[in-house]
Chains A and B, each alone.
Chain A
Amino acid sequence: MSVGIVMLVHTALGRAEQVARHWAAGGCPVVIHVDNSVPKKTYTAFVESLSDLPQVRFSKRHRCEWGTWGIVAASQAASELMLATFADVRHVYLASGSCLPLRPVQELIDYLSARPRTDFIESATTADVPWTVGGLDQERFTLRFPFSWKRHRFLFDSFVKVQRRLGLKRKMPNGLVPHMGSQWWCLTRQTLSAILQDPERNTYDSFFKRVWIPDESYFQSLARLYSSQIESRSLTLSKFDFQGKPHIFYDDHLQLLRRSDCFVARKIWPHANRLYEVFLTDAAGAMKRTEPNPGKIDRIFAKAVERRTRGRAGLYMQSRFPNEGWENGVTSGPYSVFEGFSDLFEDFENWLTKATGARVHGHLFAPDRVEFAGGHSVMNGGLSDSAKLRDYNPRSFLCNLIWNTRGERQCFQFGPADSQAISWQIAKDPNAQISVISGAWAVPLFRSNRNFADIRKDAARLQKVESDHLDILRSSYVKARVRIWTMAEFIEAPMEPLQTILDEIGNRSLRRLSEVPKMADLEGFGQFLQNLKNQGMHPYLMGDFPVAREIQPASQSPRKPYLVR
């Protein structure tokens, strides 16, 4: 008893010859089907090159275009020839010219003779499996597909649309249940001959001729009628990308293929000399005698699909530039924006660095230069502190900074004196944690030693800018984690909000805050605001500051820091 190999070949005939010889040498009869599109001359030369092997035969040629009936017709013709010519064949293994046996042929023979009644064919009902790419699953069977998808895409698509519109449907013949799966199967003589000699075969054939990609459903559906024991998996290792094209194996996959333990792998790059050399010449191959387990190899290809379809969040590059809203993460990691904190607290940045261990920048969007942490002029990835470079593309600047510092939390200060172009981006970024003390920009003005007319002008401008910015932060498009306090609210109980923010940052220590930032001296601030009002400039963003609220502690001897428990 032996295994017969049916090979479908259309290119790289040299490699196909090598593989056919390998199978034959291992004692397997081979029937080769060569695509009709291969030129006559090439075909004859190919037949000639294998003429020294009696157990290699060639079947009637069909035109095999992807997704069409030709491939099924070819498999049928070759299988019929195989069953008729080689009487001792018990299993027929369907392979392609770019398949490569990974384990010694004898192991495959032994494996199959230990399972004489088992059909290895991946076969799942379309209703349950979301494998298909391109939106056609059940419709593969209910619609007609007379046009080539590769050559006449427009006709193909329009015809599908028309049929959908008209509600045209076909019924499966004889109540057949549609199944789909990998086109590379290994069937027993019993099952295969039952399919091929079925009195209803003409009915089935004429039905499947108009099915989309029949090579993935013809044998898969019919095997269910006759097989006594179906093992629904393919013995061929074959990985598909997000468009349903098979992944190709190269020389550098050698170790991976060795570990796969599969009998046959597809598809092999024809120039992968090392793979062919190792697996075809070295009979021992050093493959362990274990159950085939393509799972080991899954991860690497699943990752490739993931990378192609979702990509790395927050990365912008020459081959990934998502439309707005499709980024799957505007930036690559969470970061915090503090507005007004460094105005209200003295040396807030140092305190925050100590409290969180994050990288705390100054005003990254300051008008004159980028205030990187530590006053550096260049930051991770070679980001320059030039304000012009930053403002040339603020979006790229911020995304770059967050990307370059992956693994390290970034915090920066922001305020109405800064370049505002970034407002919308941070507001719409779910990674942003924005905390605002509104109106705190008045504190530096209050403490400055400038003419009141200038102060008034600046205050009016800053209030306008911040109010616009707050409108953005309150819009319905916001995805960031936004917290806004008026200054009056905030200084009532500064530690609670601070603790919340820090908890959310998830600082290294779980301890409560032990050291509090020092608040600027606000004595006379109420009067300052009143003066602005008296000049006709109503500051409202900071909330209510009574003139005479001669603020409790700050005036007398500074109280001991207040700890939140």
Chain B
Amino acid sequence: MGVWQSYRLRLQRKRWLLRAWRKRRELRMVTDRTSRIKSGDILLFSTMRNEQIRLPYFLQYYRDMGVNHFLLVDNDSTDGTYEYLADQPDVSLWHTRHGYKRSRFGVDWLNWLQSRYAHGHWSLVVDPDEFLIYPFCDTRPLRALTDWLDASSIKSFSALLLDMYPKGPLDSQPYQAGQDPLEIAHWFDAGNYSISRNKRFGNLWIQGGPRSRVFFPDRPEKAPALNKIPLVKWDRRYAYVSSTHMLLPRGLNLVYDEWGGEKASGVLLHAKFLDTFSAKAAEELSRKQHYAASVEYKAYAENLKSNPDLWCKWSEKYINWRQLEILGLMSKGNWA
């Protein structure tokens, strides 16, 4: 990469940071518990809208994993998300009525919060329907991973977004608050992911899974990206460019080995496809606040009319991280 190119990327990074700084005005602080953040704490950042039913399990999952503090943005929820979060002892909450789309799908808001609060911390950015799985997550807390990453001078940790789905129609098993969504949606596609390299940012671009297979068989290029870099030892100069798919500076995107080896990586189990999904898709379609003119939600809406079964004969049933490791969806790398 030439000097010119890296200079342009630098300018771009500055632009995103400036934009995040500008967008800070859209956030109104609701509960400020950030003074409880101690040095070395692991922080979780997320933007959400109308996710009340998912929150009890979500918070519990990441608390058990060892996240110390949650910094959340509520995008004008109407279902009690706001009230629920305001009461949590380890949550600092911001509220906004502004457009999700205008903040580049929450990235600007979170870039701002991260530059403000995450400097020097390990920072995890996930949605309320994403559950991080990393090697040895059943026996070692998240801090073991971040300590190891620190010791290995690794600054960013990648995870494949793995779409989980139930067997049968989505609405056949209603989800209850507090329930593990993976009890319902525990099937996934094991080996239909297409990967290419994004030359400009150096990241991989991964598509595939059930969403490609069922919703986008004729427009594969429109299928959503599944490559994510959710866990980063944050520095205030860093910026997410597009969702958590890629970052600047681009060295952080080099989460893969190019010489044949495997780096350590995880999986984000994406429990999007529950009975709540149809209502969500309908709402998002009318709000038109999602990526690429909500093409994803349009495709869902078309298909959901026929109430499709994402399950197929070759779907795998989720067991544990070791299964995902063997299937080649994640890797221990040289962490043993």
Question: Chain A residues in contact with chain B, CB under 8 A?
Answer: 241-243, 245, 247-248, 250-252, 269, 271, 300-301, 303-305, 307-312, 315-323, 326-328, 376, 378-384, 386, 388-389, 392-393, 396-397, 400, 403-404
Contacts and interface: CB of A to CB of B under 8 A. Distances in A.
Given A318-B158, A389-B217, A404-B191, A250 B136 contact: yes
A222 B220 CA distance: 66
B193 A309 contact: no
B256 interface: yes
Contacts of B216: 389
A247 B336 contact: yes
A239 to B, nearest CB: 8
Contacts of B136: 250, 252
A380 B191 contact: yes
Nearest to A252: B139
Contacts of B312: 378, 382
A245 B206 contact: no
A386 B218 contact: yes
A396 B193 contact: yes
Nearest to B187: A382
Given A250-B139, A308-B263, A321 B204 contact: yes
Nearest to B312: A378
Contact of A320 (B189, B196, B207, B263): B263
Contact of A319 (B197, B213, B218, B255): B255
A388 B191 contact: no
B195 A316 contact: yes
Interface stretch (B70-78, B104-112, B326-334): B326-334
B331 A400 contact: no
Contacts of A376: 313
6 contacts: A303-B336, A307-B331, A311-B262, A326-B259, A392-B194, A396-B196
Given A301-B336, A382-B314, A389 B195 contact: no
Interface string B182-218: 0000000111111111000000101111101100111
Given A241-B334, A315-B328, A318-B204, A400 B191 contact: yes
B256 A320 contact: yes
A307 B328 contact: no
A319 B195 contact: no
Interface of B: 136, 139-141, 143-144, 147-148, 151-152, 158-160, 189-197, 204, 206-210, 212-213, 216-221, 227, 255-265, 312-315, 328-336
Nearest to A256: B336
Contact of B191 (A311, A383, A392): A383
Nearest to A274: B139
Contacts of A380: 190-191, 314
Contacts of B141: 271
A386 B219 CA distance: 10
A322 B259 contact: yes
A269 B257 CA distance: 26
Given A305-B334, A307-B332, A319 B194 contact: no
Contacts of B189: 381-382
B258 A319 contact: no
Nearest to A303: B336
Nearest to A314: B328
B334 A308 contact: yes
Contacts of A404: 190-191
Contacts of A378: 213, 312-314
Give the most central of A247, A301, A307: most B CB within 10 Å: A307
Nearest to A401: B191
A309 B262 CA distance: 7
A328 B258 CA distance: 11
B335 A382 contact: no
Nearest to B259: A326
Contact of B256 (A300, A307, A321, A396): A321
B257 A322 contact: yes
A1 B314 CA distance: 68
A312 B332 CA distance: 12
Given A307-B333, A382-B213, A320 B194 contact: no
A368 B197 CA distance: 27
Contacts of B210: 382
Contacts of B335: 304
Contacts of A322: 257-260
For the complex of A and B, 10 pairs with smallest distance between CB atoms:
A381-B191, A382-B189, A308-B334, A319-B265, A393-B194, A304-B336, A392-B220, A386-B217, A396-B194, A404-B191
A320 B261 contact: yes
Contact of B218 (A320, A388, A396): A388
A243 B141 CA distance: 24
Contacts of A397: 194
A308 B160 contact: no
A400 B189 CA distance: 12
B315 A382 contact: yes
Given A247-B336, A326-B258, 16 more contacts: A245-B152, A251-B140, A307-B333, A317-B265, A321-B257, A328-B260, A378-B312, A378-B314, A382-B315, A383-B191, A389-B217, A396-B195, A396-B208, A400-B191, A400-B194, A403-B328
Contacts of B263: 308, 319-320
A247 B336 CA distance: 7
B217 A321 contact: no
